[in-house]
Structure 1
Amino acid sequence: MTLPTLVLPAATETVEPVAGDGQLITAALVGIAVLVLLITLVKLHPFLSLTIGSLVVGLVATMPMADTVAAFTKGFGETSANVGILVALGAMFGKLLADSGGADAVVDAIVGRSSARVLPWAMAGIGALIGLPMFFEIGLVLLLPIVFLVAKRSEQNVVALGIPALAGLSAMHAFVPPHPGPLIAIDAVKADLGTTLGLGILIALPTIVVAGPLFGKLAARWVHLPAPTTFERTNVPEHGARPSFGATVATILLPIVLMMAKAVVDVLEVDGWIGTALDFLGTPIIALLISVLVAMVVFGRGARMRRDEVMKIVEGSLPGVAGIILIVGAGGGFKETLIETGIAQVVADWVKDSGFSVLVVAWLVAVGIRLATGSATVATVTAAGIMAPIATDLGSVETSLLVLAIGAGSVFFSHVNDAGFWLVKEYFRMDVPQTIKTWSLMETVLSVTGLGVVLLADLVVGLL
């Protein structure tokens, strides 16, 4: 999954490979194999395994070890700086939501108004709604309390509800502006923003249906997970007070509204103090920070908690996510090591001159780079840069479909070199094989289905 960054690489930026193509491919495969073996057989902690795997990649690729360490620490630092802060703030928000009883209020409303068959569809819809303006990581930490509590209250496998929610988040991230991937591709191939936005939503909806509720039902047969107790309410006061449903929903939606406002300002290029203020308030870190402060007041008062009780909840939310932040940061370091070796450029060059359909080629380029680097943003940037000259011969709708084909390819099969893989694994408390059977395959279904819908849309446009 793409990580939220403040500065994204330019579409024309390339990395000079440090070795021959065959050696780089071997380095990537050996590094990933070592990583998987250390985690699954040796049972080494993922943080240590990712660090060692990065060193192995650099060693086999004959990259100077000093450069390998520099690449790993760069990726670790950038990932931790972005995702670490968001995970910490999200953990605070989630703990306040749970311990105040606010999550219970939302869960009671959802479970009380939905049958067991409808719940996965409801989770997919909520995931898509939250994922429309928000980064995947932020949407994940906001959704988890609801997903886990709904699973526990309804006595359903958490996979059956979690996969649809993840599909909604991921699809919006891949297909719909103002997420960074689609925006970068739109700029690179000179596509129309409005056309791409409309087509992106239309293509995302059926893709979510297939990769979410339908695949989630299948994945739940392979992996059965009880709902973690992470977000269960503790220390319930005798008076049983909790925030109202309306106040809880409004507080949950606050960061979404702030980030959506920033997106509108960016797209419409609003100037003046209003534009500046909304652009600042809608920055993910600021939006979540404001939401945590508001939650302390709204949830605290709703549950009739004292100030020291609220502060204790906030403090108690952090130890549980320390390990997650380290693992996700190390995943970012592993990804950066693969990028700095030049593997992304090698994969792009391999498929650039193939004779396939333009849309299929764009998807393949993004898939190859996604598999090699674990970064959807890098895959989008590189694929868009390669396809830019070809896009000049396409019409407006076809160019937008090209952007969406790239977006579909950029989320293909998230695995051990993707920080999002580790984020999902740790939050859902799965092992590596379980994460691959659920999250990785869901991303693959989403990617392939997305391409299929894009090709179908292209066929319809051709007939008109």
Structure 2
Amino acid sequence: MTRLSVEVLAADAVAPITSSGHARLGIAVLLGIAVIVLLITTFKLHAFLALTIGSLALGAFAGAPLDKVITSFTTGLGATVAGVGVLIALGSVLGKLLADSGGADQIVDTILAKAGGRAMPWVMVLIASVIGLPLFFEVGIVLLIPVVLMVAKRGHYSLMRIGIPALAGLSVMHGLVPPHPGPLVAIDAVHANLGLTLALGVLVAIPTVIIAGPLFSKVAARWVDVQAPDRMLPQRPSEELEDRPGFGATLVTILLPVVLMLAKALVDVVVDDPAHTVQRVFDVIGSPLIALLAAVIVGMFTLGRPAGFTRERLSETVEKSLAPIAGILLIVGAGGGFKQTLIDCGVGQMILEISKDWSIPALLLAWLIAVAIRLATGSATVATVSAAGLVAPLAADMSTAHTALLVLAIGAGSLFFSHVNDAGFWLVKEYFGLSVGQTLKTWSVMETIISVVGGGLVLLLSLVI
């Protein structure tokens, strides 16, 4: 499974669409990002249009043929919408079912009854970490958003006190802990031990998520004191319903995609034979698309039926769930288009070539390379794959433990400072109703804390093991 992932991701690499030198390409990247930020903050242009114009500007500054720039942008937009857009849509349907049936109210009421006050950020980071273990970051967000927003609203918490711990839990799992695709690809590239990497990853993840989640959320709430946005907040219909789903049924529905994806990951590790019938079955039912689709279908019975929904009411719920996310899909897709334009212009390759002359310890080198590629391309996966490929020869002389730490150093670096070239940046911004500046001061700083703390802990562990 990991070998296949490497081959698929490597196949995405193409010859750069421009022959510009490193200096011009670096300036083009800075100017392209500046155009996007300026259009959004000063001219108040919609983020979708700003990202589109910024991508074209980047290509022009880099001296790339305009037709190839357009192709790169549309390819990236299409791939992002195809991969993330469908998940966002299914997550929105599931969220609407949770809200309209009263299931989300049931979960929130139970959480608020069992925990409150200072404990709530810790509860949210725990929930997000457990849910985020087998899930892609985007899937975790769409599953958690209804709960995060409703807990913040009903408990009268600042959105950052609840949202930052949840985001930190998802992000740390995504970057540091197998069976996420990024760590698995890096493990395969440097021939690390999966079990040891998992154990060390959890060891690094726990203090990292505490610092970046509950602790940083106190600071983030002071910097950006906002409430849950009404436009994204599920409406509370419980007063209209005679009954609502039980806590157990609602929890099972929410966790169904988590269980299916985790089962797939475990089967991939244990069976490790793509031709085996069991693995082929779980590759299908554990894919994000099928897992979320299954949750939606199951939710129609476990959530809709107890609330007394008719077929017409279910159809109406699905229809109403899709309209509010149209803008989000376009913005996230455009973010993917900008990222692909950066990659096709050769920014990632430029970073790799420059970093070949860096003479520093291997673990720090791996972290810095991943940081540089992450900043330039906005993609944690591209940063992980590229950095792992570059430093793989260094792993030949490392111990088993240090090879595992090499994977974690790469994963930590790949999360550094998400900004306007990352589709995840726009996902967080739109779901939480933030401005670009507010997103930079909260989400981007949180990602940087995760990267720096995680990288620092990896270096400390290398001194004692």
1:42 aligns with 2:43: yes
Deviations 1:109-158 (A, max 9, x none): 11111121000011101111111000000000100111111111110101
1:120 aligns with 2:105: no
Distance in 2 between the 1:446 and 1:377 partners? Answer: 16
Where does 1:84-163 land on structure 2 (aligned, <5 Å)?
84-163=85-164
Q: Paired residue for 2:9?
A: 9
Where does 1:61-460 land on structure 2 (aligned, <5 Å)?
61-229=62-230, 230-236=232-238, 238-269=240-271, 272-460=276-464
Distance in 1 between the 2:120 and 2:412 partners? Answer: 26
| C-alpha contact (below 8 Å) 1:186/1:403 kept by paired residues | yes
| C-alpha contact (below 8 Å) 2:101/2:237 kept by paired residues | no
Deviation at residue 9 of structure 1 after TM alignment: 1.6
Distance in 1 between the 2:14 and 2:207 partners? Answer: 34
Deviations 1:324-362 (A, max 9, x none): 001100000000001011111111222232222211110
Bigger drift between 231-240 and 118-127 goes to 231-240
CA RMSD of aligned residues (A): 1.6
Kindly provide the amino acid, as one letter, of the partner of residue 111 in structure 1: L
Distance in 1 between the 2:19 and 2:406 partners? Answer: 31
Deviation at residue 197 of structure 1 after TM alignment: 1.1
1:33 aligns with 2:61: no
Note closer, same or farther for the CA distance 1:314–1:105 as it changes in structure 2 (3 Å cut).
same
Deviation at residue 425 of structure 1 after TM alignment: 0.3
Distance in 1 between the 2:403 and 2:65 partners? Answer: 41
Deviation at residue 12 of structure 1 after TM alignment: 11
3-state SS in 1 of match to 2:305 = helix
Distance in 2 between the 1:6 and 1:156 partners? Answer: 42
- Give 5+ residue unaligned stretches, structure 2: none
Deviations 1:291-317 (A, max 9, x none): 101111110112122221121111100
Bigger drift between 52-61 and 221-230 goes to 221-230
**What TM-score do you get using the length of structure 2 for normalisation?**
0.96
**What TM-score do you get using the length of structure 1 for normalisation?**
0.96
Kindly provide the amino acid, as one letter, of the partner of residue 69 in structure 1: I
Deviation at residue 239 of structure 1 after TM alignment: 4.5
Distance in 2 between the 1:56 and 1:256 partners? Answer: 40
| C-alpha contact (below 8 Å) 2:102/2:236 kept by paired residues | no
3-state SS in 1 of match to 2:415 = coil
Distance in 2 between the 1:455 and 1:6 partners? Answer: 26
Percent identity for Structure 1 against Structure 2:
56
| C-alpha contact (below 8 Å) 1:14/1:345 kept by paired residues | no
Distance in 2 between the 1:339 and 1:440 partners? Answer: 21
Distance in 1 between the 2:258 and 2:63 partners? Answer: 45
- Give 5+ residue unaligned stretches, structure 1: none
3-state SS in 1 of match to 2:455 = helix
Note closer, same or farther for the CA distance 1:15–1:160 as it changes in structure 2 (3 Å cut).
farther
| C-alpha contact (below 8 Å) 1:262/1:282 kept by paired residues | yes
Bigger drift between 434-443 and 346-355 goes to 346-355
Bigger drift between 411-420 and 197-206 goes to 197-206
Deviation at residue 237 of structure 1 after TM alignment: 5.5
3-state SS in 1 of match to 2:10 = coil
Deviations 1:363-414 (A, max 9, x none): 0000000000000011011100110111111011000100000000001000
| C-alpha contact (below 8 Å) 1:151/1:227 kept by paired residues | yes
3-state SS in 1 of match to 2:248 = helix
